[in-house]
Structure 1
Amino acid sequence: MRVIRNLNKWGQFGRQPEKSQKFPLHARPALGLAVARRCAYMAAMAAPILSFENLGLNQGTGWLFRGLDLHIGARDRLALIGRNGTGKTTLFRLIAEQIEADEGRRTIQPGTKVVLLEQDPDLAGHETLRDWALNGEDAPAPHEIEAIAGQLGIDLDTVSETASGGERRRAAISRALAQNPDVLLLDEPTNHLDLTAIDWLEDWLGRFKGAFIAISHDRTFLRRLTKATLWLDRGSLRRAEIGFGGYDAWVEKIYAEEARAAERMDAKLKIETHWLHRGVTARRKRNQGRLTKLWELREQRAQMLGPTGVAKLSVESDEVKTKSVIDARRITKRYDDRIIIDDFTLRIQRGDRIGIVGANGAGKTTLLKLLTGEIEPDEGRIKRAKTLDSVVIDQQRSKMEPEKTIRDVLTEGSDWIDVRGTPKRIEAYLKEFLFDPGLAEAKIGTFSGGERSRLLLAREFAKISNLLVLDEPTNDLDMETLDLLQEVIADYEGTVLIVSHDRDFLDRTVTITLGLDGSGKVDIVAGGYEDWEKRRRPARATSKPRGKAKSAPAAPPSPSKPSKLSYKDQRDLDRLPGEIDKIDAQIARAEEALADPDLYQQNPDRFRALTEEIDEARATREAHEERWLEVAEMAEALETG
């Protein structure tokens, strides 16, 4: 029925639905569930606010894509997935009319406003972030952008030339959201954002009244927000009416069907062109086994941590001592009068995978520098293994000279690369990192940002080391590269330190999470981001609520001012965040099962049950979110008096 209600909003019906229409579509005797859902879906798709038919773009060396059809509804929540270099960002620029297509037709409802949040906006020529944000014909009103910037915690008077990646990203988000778009195109929106800002953006988009399409490597972001998936692959665009939670199962089915078709045609050459995708499929299956091993390592590590998350240094066997890589005891670090790290103790062992999380400015970089020896503590001591040999992978891709070739970057012109002491042909090594082996002579300037990041990983992972330091390694990477990175980290024999805001990636890779809250305290939790989040959730439930979308109605003021929340209100404030997380997991499981293209033919009852389950779960989640916002605002009002 949600589709029909949306159609009514689009003006396709001149009156409210008849009472009989309020029953679920599958209850109508004349129509089976699948037919009814398809009819409703096609009716909705007949009245999109923005459409493209037979879209094609030729980049000179050939067609990047051709024959693409895309229809965007008024309330679509779409994930756009595809490997780096397939044209996702280019497709966004076409939708936003920044470039023109070589083929195809664009249809848009009058008055529809399309806004693109770019990955790297050009701030050249603008003295401050405010100057840039308020420039141009489509610039938002100053008070609109100030309101959003304030909620995101960005000072728009910051000088553009010296602004950090996080400050530039917040300014770009403030400008995009303040324009009141009908269609919002989000190109890697969580890049350079800390966890607080990501939470705020998720809340805003959850209440956004328009449509959005998101390109993102952040699986958690996509799972929580999207309800349909676009897959740009080998020049074609597919759409599935499932959220990102069902994406992997859907793609695996498509690859399996293509492989079977190629085998039936006895087209060996054709199937050989799928080496990348078959490798991806196998990699995902192997990673399931690695995840099982990761859970075991977390259990072992949890037994070595005390109930408050402090390493049990008093229990020191010779075996533990010999495995120690970094031994930090009661360290404190200050800058001026501010304590950044306060009385922190932890022994890091060989093979540990340590994730460091927290808001920007909380002290993540300081802690990383302390652990690696770049700076020393003001109090306490840190003992490091004498044989420590580290490799640091940070965001250096911009330093790669565009005129150099892949061969220059990896081997300085040689046909062979030394991979941790073992020589390999460069073509074979490129294949391991998802590059076409024939690209050895391609220039760096022709690659996307994500492809450059992947090349940087290939170069650094070839070096001999026993300590791997990764600073925001997932920025701009596609899903296949993230799977590859997960595999490489799992197989790495040394110790890994990861600073990241990518929640799903941390859940898949680390054994211990160090969480910083900005006060100097460091939580030590066995497990990943979700384990740390569970620990701090009770405190967050009573904290100041995050910013709201402009279109969300404000709660009416209370006629009286009670001194505290009622029992029911306090109970809802405490329990609802956990309930919402459970519902998100339920939806993801159902969408994954629904991604099976043969499900309806083989088990129509199961198909019906899953679709009903998803609809009901989404409705419940929306109700829970609204209720939590209501009581959180009440708590804030009491807190501020």
Structure 2
Amino acid sequence: MIRLDNISKQNGRQLLFIETSAALQRGEKIGLVGPNGAGKTTLFRMITSKEPPDEGLVLVDRGVTIGFFSQDVGEMSGRSAVAEVMEGAGDVSAVAAELRDLEAALADPDTTDFDAVLERFGEVQARFEELGGYALEGRAREVLDGLGFSQEMMEGDVGKLSGGWKMRVALARILLMRPDVMLLDEPSNHLDLESLIWLENFLGGYDGALLMTSHDREFMNRIVNKIIEIDGGSLTSYAGDYEFYEAQRAMAERQQQAQFERQQAMLAKEIKFIERFKARASHAAQVQSRVKKLDKIERVEPPRRRQAISFEFQPAPRSGDDVVNLKGVHKRYGSRVIYEGLDFLLRRRERCAVLGTNGAGKSTLLKLATGHLAPDTGSVALGGSVKMAYFAQHAMELLDGERTVLQSLEDEFPRANQAALRGVAGAFGFPGDDVDKRCRVLSGGEKARLVMARMLFDPPNFIVLDEPTNHLDMATKDMLIAALAEYEGTMLFVSHDRRFLAALSNRILEVTPDGVHDYGGGYTEYVARTGQEAPGLRS
């Protein structure tokens, strides 16, 4: 359906693609992976003709429809969310627009060629029915519901929605369109767990071709049947899901390293012979033969090493056994009751994950526990010797855009030495000169990493995290999971990343309209016990 034929592409001084090829066939569901800046977004732009390759061809079969979801959703306002989604439904939206115009013309007493308009109306109406137009609004509402929209949000002005909800509207447009090919650039961002699982099921039943990026390992594993990796200007295909790709890539690296080492040993031996006998006339023929042999050998390159980032917590001071205690807490927003008589005690070294549908009160609970929100009635008390760090969803907005990464760390820790600050910056993905980047030019993921570095450098004994993985790539997530797995303090967190939940939780607090349910054991035990991966999926 789509072929990339010997493409090359340069972005400034960076060579993104060097005479490389790949293909997307009917029915394939492909995960596109590679380090940040490797060219994933550029590849999407070339496929959608937003940007041409410098050399080579991007070939799309005649008649193939493509739907492209990107993080740049553009302006939306003046329509309801439902109308906005329906507008992007492909041919049927254009037919719907013509049908509305014809209906207006038929109702207008000044219409001159009434019979011709009536005949055209019949043709367009038949086409509208053929395309399932009368069911379109129902399907649009079904998709929006799956992505977490309430009826009120569906009807309201889309312009009043936050950026994250606008992204869901843009995603819904593509899903409703059901094109022959979907290109999805990070569709799992900004989704809660229920919406994420709904999207998995939707894409599982989609019979078109799919090319997508995602930083959610579990999401990728459940959907894709092939991986295309961008690295060093090349596109390499691997059959299977992300886990299989990782295993195959690691095996290929080991084999390449072994070949490289064998060849290096052979070359060293040959060079030693040449150096030893090059001055002897009796060995001139042999020396010349070996020199020619070395010139003809195709050199094996060592595998490219991706720098693994790691972070280790320094020992945190011990807190008291009771870390935070909520007693008889009531909280409401207007007429909407969030908590009514909530009792919740978090004890030292517990890692409590809070689950619940969108709007159930997960973030509210974290704000109450951290003192960023006062209860209407009831009490919230921190235990003795508690040193708390709180990662909030708006934390990235508080960075000073004119300060550099290093200056931002220095502002927070004026007494720390430069080597230590550069070390933590490197662990969180800012090696070398990257510490001189100004905060205003950082991506969402880079800002999240900087906030995390500032939060964890001087180790707290109580960490509160509200969706910490939203903007993090897989490498940073893996680093964070590994570091937090060794952390000996207490955690209270909200996350939609199932790997993060399973790896780190040892207690689950489930917030539902029926009340708050407390489960001992981590997320894996919760899933086994309830038979569901999220509270909102219960029948």
Which TM-score band applies after superposition, normalised by the shorter structure? 0.7 to 0.9
Which of 24, 30, 37 in structure 2 is aligned with 1:72? 24
CA distance in 1, matches of 2:451, 2:374: 29
Once the 2 structures are TM-superposed, how far is the Cα of residue 529 of structure 1 from its aligned partner?
3.1
Q: TM-score, normalised by structure 1?
A: 0.63
- The reply to whether residue 532 of structure 1 matches residue 526 of structure 2 is yes
CA distance in 2, matches of 1:242, 1:538: 26
* CA deviation string 1:459-502 (max 9, x = no partner): 33224533222221112322111111112322334322221111
Once the 2 structures are TM-superposed, how far is the Cα of residue 411 of structure 1 from its aligned partner?
3.0
| Residues 145/76 of structure 1: CA separation in 2 closer, same or farther (3 Å cut) | farther
Q: Is the 8 A contact 1:363 1:518 kept in 2?
A: no
CA distance in 2, matches of 1:50, 1:438: 39
CA distance in 1, matches of 2:251, 2:320: 47
- The reply to whether residue 344 of structure 1 matches residue 312 of structure 2 is no
| Residues 419/494 of structure 1: CA separation in 2 closer, same or farther (3 Å cut) | farther
- The reply to whether residue 53 of structure 1 matches residue 51 of structure 2 is no
Q: TM-score, normalised by structure 2?
A: 0.74
CA distance in 2, matches of 1:216, 1:116: 14
What is residue 407 of structure 2 aligned with on the other side? 408
SS in 2 for 1:193: coil
| Residues 436/322 of structure 1: CA separation in 2 closer, same or farther (3 Å cut) | closer
Q: Is the 8 A contact 2:220 2:242 kept in 1?
A: yes
| Residues 399/254 of structure 1: CA separation in 2 closer, same or farther (3 Å cut) | farther
| Residues 276/206 of structure 1: CA separation in 2 closer, same or farther (3 Å cut) | closer
Q: Is the 8 A contact 2:506 2:523 kept in 1?
A: no
| Residues 135/63 of structure 1: CA separation in 2 closer, same or farther (3 Å cut) | farther
Amino acid paired to 1:232: I
CA distance in 2, matches of 1:272, 1:406: 33
What is residue 232 of structure 1 aligned with on the other side? 230
What is residue 275 of structure 2 aligned with on the other side? none
CA distance in 2, matches of 1:74, 1:276: 32
SS in 2 for 1:424: helix
After the TM superposition, which residues 394-473 of structure 1 pair with which residues of structure 2 at under 5 Å, given as runs? 394-395=392-393, 396-397=395-396, 400=399, 404-411=403-410, 418=413, 424-444=419-439, 447-473=442-468
| Residues 528/156 of structure 1: CA separation in 2 closer, same or farther (3 Å cut) | same
Deviates more, 1:201-210 or 1:445-454: 445-454
| Residues 527/87 of structure 1: CA separation in 2 closer, same or farther (3 Å cut) | farther
Q: Is the 8 A contact 2:401 2:440 kept in 1?
A: yes
- For these two proteins, the number of residue pairs brought into alignment is 453
* CA deviation string 1:590-610 (max 9, x = no partner): xxxxxxxxxxxxxxxxxxxxx
Once the 2 structures are TM-superposed, how far is the Cα of residue 111 of structure 1 from its aligned partner?
0.8
Runs of 5+ unmatched residues, structure 2: 97-132, 266-299, 313-317
CA distance in 1, matches of 2:513, 2:41: 35
After the TM superposition, which residues 142-181 of structure 1 pair with which residues of structure 2 at under 5 Å, given as runs? 144=136, 147-153=139-145, 154=149, 155-181=153-179
What is residue 91 of structure 1 aligned with on the other side? 43
| Residues 108/276 of structure 1: CA separation in 2 closer, same or farther (3 Å cut) | closer
Q: Which of 1 and 2 has greater Rg?
A: 2
* CA deviation string 1:480-532 (max 9, x = no partner): 1111111232233432222111112111122212122233x122223333333
After the TM superposition, which residues 118-197 of structure 1 pair with which residues of structure 2 at under 5 Å, given as runs? 118-123=70-75, 129=81, 133=85, 141=93, 144=136, 147-153=139-145, 154=149, 155-197=153-195
Q: Is the 8 A contact 2:396 2:448 kept in 1?
A: yes
* CA deviation string 1:549-583 (max 9, x = no partner): xxxxxxxxxxxxxxxxxxxxxxxxxxxxxxxxxxx
Once the 2 structures are TM-superposed, how far is the Cα of residue 76 of structure 1 from its aligned partner?
0.5
Q: Is the 8 A contact 2:509 2:516 kept in 1?
A: yes
Amino acid paired to 2:45: R
- The reply to whether residue 109 of structure 1 matches residue 61 of structure 2 is yes
Amino acid paired to 1:509: L
CA distance in 2, matches of 1:541, 1:489: 25
Which of 386, 389, 405 in structure 2 is aligned with 1:388? 386
What is residue 254 of structure 2 aligned with on the other side? 256
CA distance in 2, matches of 1:483, 1:321: 27
Once the 2 structures are TM-superposed, how far is the Cα of residue 120 of structure 1 from its aligned partner?
3.5
* CA deviation string 1:334-383 (max 9, x = no partner): 34454322443332122222211211111111211222222344454332
Identity %: 30
* CA deviation string 1:142-163 (max 9, x = no partner): 7536523344323344334431
CA distance in 2, matches of 1:537, 1:234: 43
* CA deviation string 1:139-188 (max 9, x = no partner): 86275365233443233443344313442232112211122211111122
Q: Is the 8 A contact 1:420 1:464 kept in 2?
A: no
Which of 355, 358, 363 in structure 1 is aligned with 2:356? 358
- The reply to whether residue 504 of structure 1 matches residue 499 of structure 2 is yes
Once the 2 structures are TM-superposed, how far is the Cα of residue 443 of structure 1 from its aligned partner?
4.4
- The reply to whether residue 367 of structure 1 matches residue 387 of structure 2 is no
Q: Is the 8 A contact 1:333 1:377 kept in 2?
A: yes
| Residues 116/337 of structure 1: CA separation in 2 closer, same or farther (3 Å cut) | same
CA distance in 2, matches of 1:104, 1:508: 44
Once the 2 structures are TM-superposed, how far is the Cα of residue 210 of structure 1 from its aligned partner?
0.1
Q: Is the 8 A contact 1:356 1:498 kept in 2?
A: yes
* CA deviation string 1:306-359 (max 9, x = no partner): xxxxxxxxxxxxxx9941111234434334454322443332122222211211
Amino acid paired to 1:72: L
Q: Is the 8 A contact 1:507 1:527 kept in 2?
A: no
After the TM superposition, which residues 564-575 of structure 1 pair with which residues of structure 2 at under 5 Å, given as runs? none
CA distance in 2, matches of 1:253, 1:68: 22
Runs of 5+ unmatched residues, structure 1: 1-48, 287-319, 546-641
What is residue 476 of structure 2 aligned with on the other side? 481
CA distance in 2, matches of 1:71, 1:213: 10
Q: Is the 8 A contact 1:78 1:228 kept in 2?
A: yes
After the TM superposition, which residues 272-287 of structure 1 pair with which residues of structure 2 at under 5 Å, given as runs? 276-277=306-307, 279=308
Q: Is the 8 A contact 1:327 1:346 kept in 2?
A: yes
What is residue 328 of structure 1 aligned with on the other side? 326
Deviates more, 1:258-267 or 1:242-251: 258-267
Amino acid paired to 1:347: L
What is residue 513 of structure 1 aligned with on the other side? 508
RMSD: 3.6
Q: Is the 8 A contact 1:428 1:437 kept in 2?
A: no
| Residues 121/403 of structure 1: CA separation in 2 closer, same or farther (3 Å cut) | farther
